[in-house]
Structure 1
Amino acid sequence: MTMQSAVMAGGLDKSDIQLVTVIQTNTNPYMLQWAAGSQAFADSVGLPLKTIVSNGDSQQQLAQIQATIAAGKKVVVTINPINSADVPAIVKAVTRSGGFITTQWNKPEGYNPWDVSPNYVAHLTYDGYSAGKWTGKSLFTAMGGKGGIIAFKGVLDSPPSKQRYDGMNEALKDFPDVKILDTQAAGWDRQKAYDITKTLLTKYGDQIKGVWAASDSMTLGAYAAFQDAGRVGEVKFSGNDNTEEALKLIDSGPNFIDTYSSDGYYNGALGLAMAYDAAIGKLDVSKLTHEQRAGNYSQFGVDKSNVKQQLKPPTGDEIMAEVNKGLFARFVGPELK
């Protein structure tokens, strides 16, 4: 069943549009990069941006989107949803109101934009499996191929969290003397990871030789807990998301080993640009392939060898220069299942 009859064709007047970007928390550096990227896009088209922070609450996430829709303008949305299960209700609310939306990272498997609505413009994914495998291998190598680790997932109902964790476990197969002591889900949250790490430090003590996490924010929380315990120099740390604080630690010392970049600034700008171009009629969604409407976009690993290239945050103009290379310039193939 589709919602084709409930939607509007593209060609909205710019004055009728409300740009919206939705992030899960304002304590996660990646999500702050995302918001900055969305702001860069909004500035480039001369429209105000509403940033919704869901604070990890799916009901609050939907309620804030519905309240924005009720204000009267047609919403143009890009969202990093908390859970995959959240996506259908959000897409329904946006598209039935005549708005346009792109989702990123999370959606239910088999829930495809082309089966739902042309106003559900696209879903953008990033290969979490390769990210987890690369960061895991880098961490285990830095540990000398032996020792115990603690691992942090993000949100359990989250494809990137699952993919990154599965990729790390694949890397583990080549390191038989590295053992996972404990795995916890910290909701991409630095403070939660800090609190959990303090408990795990009490439980496992000096058995812990490495920390792997599906985001820099959680790795940084664990790093702070080891600092407070006076043990940060004894342990290696691995992150994901290419945040400024993680980059500085990779550059300055031997213990924070790596991170992985999907480019939060670019993600926040690109998702909004794609939805906006469809809304104003510049992008003809009917001419996109299924792969373009549920596609995978490029990423890269960062360690000591290339960290200095990543340390300078981009300006708004630099973010938009990348987006203006083309909406599909970083497209590499269909979404990872």
Structure 2
Amino acid sequence: MLKYLCGVVLTLGMGACAQAASVLFLNPGTTQETFWVSYSQFMQAAAKDLGMDLHIQYSERNAETTLKQAREALQGPNRPDYLVFVNELYVAPEILRLAQGSGVKLFLVNNGLTADQMRLLGAQPDKYPDWLGSLVPNNEEGGYLMLKELIRLHRPIAPGEVIDLVAFSGLKITPAAQQREKGMMRALAEHPEVRLRQLVYGGWNRKRAYEQARLLFKRYPQTSLVWSANDEMAFGAMQAYAETGGQPGKDVLFSAVNNSPAALQALLEGRLSVLLGGHFTLGGWALVQLHDYEQGVDVSLYGGRDRQIPLLQLIDHAQAKRLLALNATQDYAVDFRKLSAKGRPTSYRYPFSLQTLMH
């Protein structure tokens, strides 16, 4: 199954061969979504540094396409060594089922299995020996931090005054959206002065959120905070608000998740008041772990088999400028090989965070 990358050194008339582990990443997004494209770019930078043979297929947000791609990869003639995928639209159990007996190692990123899926699968490692683990961001904490910061930035309010909030979540059947919502609800419970007027599902989509926001701003003219589970929905809501004659960032405070260039720019310009990001790096960090696994490292000794890492963090102006510069060059200046756990004591923890890019 290992691919052999052979280069011929013509001057010496010699063949130079090196083994490279092949990885297929099933990207659930579209080739037009800045988040998923930047996610792929970071993975490609990691694969290049680690000497891994990475291929990426986009499903254009269609679960049937993801399953078709998985079926071909797991049951076709050209099987990768590793399949990296996302439990978007709850596809993971079916992919685990398809993988049985394929010999392909599996790794989940971004959305792990839900508690219900774990129960239904009886997901013991011995039932799915080729499932190596998962790496997910701190989505619940992200949703919480985002609303806490929005409330902090809001002007002081008089006793008995109420702050109106509207919220845009992603898809009901995406664990990341559910967890971000849960975090928002936790922050709400701590702030009785904030009233959630309505939570809608914008499907991560700018146009849909724009149409929803036009109705919401008419229905709740006193809205002063808008919480959005990603940047695309925030931009849709901001457009709708601007059309009412209001000024995003002044009359109403908007928040978003993702560090797309447009979102970073909106933060620097003050149109977005709160921005969280950093989880676009997850796929790259997953490759570091898979490369270690390939080298015989028992990754579970260095933080566990299924891990949540605090990648989502509030982005300040200095970090926004740094991330814009990284986006422009796509040179993340990360030595991925140096992050390896190989030969380290089991107290070592992978330094997977946005800070690793901020030097």
TM over 0.5: yes
Query: Which residue of the partner structure matches residue 114 of structure 2?
Result: 108
C-alpha contact (below 8 Å) 1:215/1:239 kept by paired residues:
yes
From 79, 83, 93, the counterpart of 1:77 = 83
Distance 2:198 2:187 in 1: 17
C-alpha contact (below 8 Å) 2:2/2:81 kept by paired residues:
no
From 294, 307, 310, the counterpart of 1:298 = 310
When residues 198 and 60 of structure 1 are mapped into structure 2, their CA distance, relative to the original with a 3 A threshold, is same
Matching of residue 188 in structure 1 with residue 199 in structure 2: no
Distance 2:203 2:138 in 1: 19
Matched residue SS, 1:114: coil
Deviation at 1:77, TM superposition (A): 2.2
Matched residue SS, 1:292: coil
Distance 2:205 2:320 in 1: 24
When residues 262 and 119 of structure 1 are mapped into structure 2, their CA distance, relative to the original with a 3 A threshold, is farther
Deviation at 1:137, TM superposition (A): 0.9
1:196-247 Cα shifts (integer Å, max 9, x gaps): 222323333x222121011222212222222344323321101112222111
Matching of residue 149 in structure 1 with residue 183 in structure 2: no
Distance 1:68 1:141 in 2: 48
Deviation at 1:189, TM superposition (A): 2.2
Query: Which residue of the partner structure matches residue 230 of structure 1?
Result: 245
Matched residue SS, 1:165: helix
Distance 2:350 2:303 in 1: 14
When residues 293 and 47 of structure 1 are mapped into structure 2, their CA distance, relative to the original with a 3 A threshold, is closer
C-alpha contact (below 8 Å) 1:149/1:210 kept by paired residues:
yes
Deviation at 1:68, TM superposition (A): 3.4
Matched residue SS, 2:173: coil
Distance 1:47 1:331 in 2: 19
Query: Which residue of the partner structure matches residue 235 of structure 2?
Result: 220
From 292, 311, 326, the counterpart of 2:324 = 311
Amino acid at match of 2:258: D
When residues 169 and 303 of structure 1 are mapped into structure 2, their CA distance, relative to the original with a 3 A threshold, is farther
Query: Which residue of the partner structure matches residue 300 of structure 2?
Result: 288
Please identify the structure whose Cα radius of gyration is greater. Answer: 2
Query: Which residue of the partner structure matches residue 162 of structure 1?
Result: 178
Matched residue SS, 1:239: strand
Amino acid at match of 2:189: K
Structure 2 runs not aligned, ≥5 long: 6-19, 342-348, 354-359
Amino acid at match of 2:148: K
C-alpha contact (below 8 Å) 1:24/1:56 kept by paired residues:
yes
CA-based RMSD of the aligned residues comes to 2.9
Deviation at 1:251, TM superposition (A): 1.0
Distance 2:200 2:101 in 1: 38
Higher relative contact order (CA 8 A, sep 6+): 1
Deviation at 1:326, TM superposition (A): 2.9
Matched residue SS, 1:288: helix
* TM-score, with structure 2 as normaliser: 0.77
Matched residue SS, 1:256: coil
Matching of residue 330 in structure 1 with residue 330 in structure 2: no
1:140-161 Cα shifts (integer Å, max 9, x gaps): 2223255312111122233322
Matching of residue 87 in structure 1 with residue 92 in structure 2: yes
Distance 2:180 2:110 in 1: 12
Query: Which residue of the partner structure matches residue 259 of structure 1?
Result: 275
Distance 2:318 2:332 in 1: 23
Deviation at 1:94, TM superposition (A): 3.6
Query: Which residue of the partner structure matches residue 54 of structure 1?
Result: 59
Matches for 1:2-13 after TM superposition, within 5 Å: 12-13=2-3
Query: Which residue of the partner structure matches residue 195 of structure 2?
Result: 179
Distance 1:323 1:158 in 2: 32
When residues 237 and 247 of structure 1 are mapped into structure 2, their CA distance, relative to the original with a 3 A threshold, is same
1:148-178 Cα shifts (integer Å, max 9, x gaps): 1211112223332222112122222343232
Quick check: 208-217 or 24-33, which moved more?
24-33
* TM-score, with structure 1 as normaliser: 0.81
Structure 1 runs not aligned, ≥5 long: 1-10, 333-337
Matched residue SS, 2:60: coil
Matching of residue 35 in structure 1 with residue 46 in structure 2: no
Amino acid at match of 1:311: L
Matched residue SS, 1:318: coil
Distance 1:35 1:307 in 2: 20
Deviation at 1:36, TM superposition (A): 0.8
Matching of residue 19 in structure 1 with residue 23 in structure 2: yes
When residues 95 and 119 of structure 1 are mapped into structure 2, their CA distance, relative to the original with a 3 A threshold, is same
When residues 307 and 37 of structure 1 are mapped into structure 2, their CA distance, relative to the original with a 3 A threshold, is closer
C-alpha contact (below 8 Å) 1:114/1:293 kept by paired residues:
no
C-alpha contact (below 8 Å) 2:109/2:283 kept by paired residues:
no
Query: Which residue of the partner structure matches residue 126 of structure 1?
Result: 137
Deviation at 1:45, TM superposition (A): 4.8
Amino acid at match of 1:292: G
Matched residue SS, 2:91: helix
Matching of residue 117 in structure 1 with residue 128 in structure 2: yes
Query: Which residue of the partner structure matches residue 138 of structure 1?
Result: 149
Query: Which residue of the partner structure matches residue 335 of structure 1?
Result: none
Deviation at 1:183, TM superposition (A): 0.5
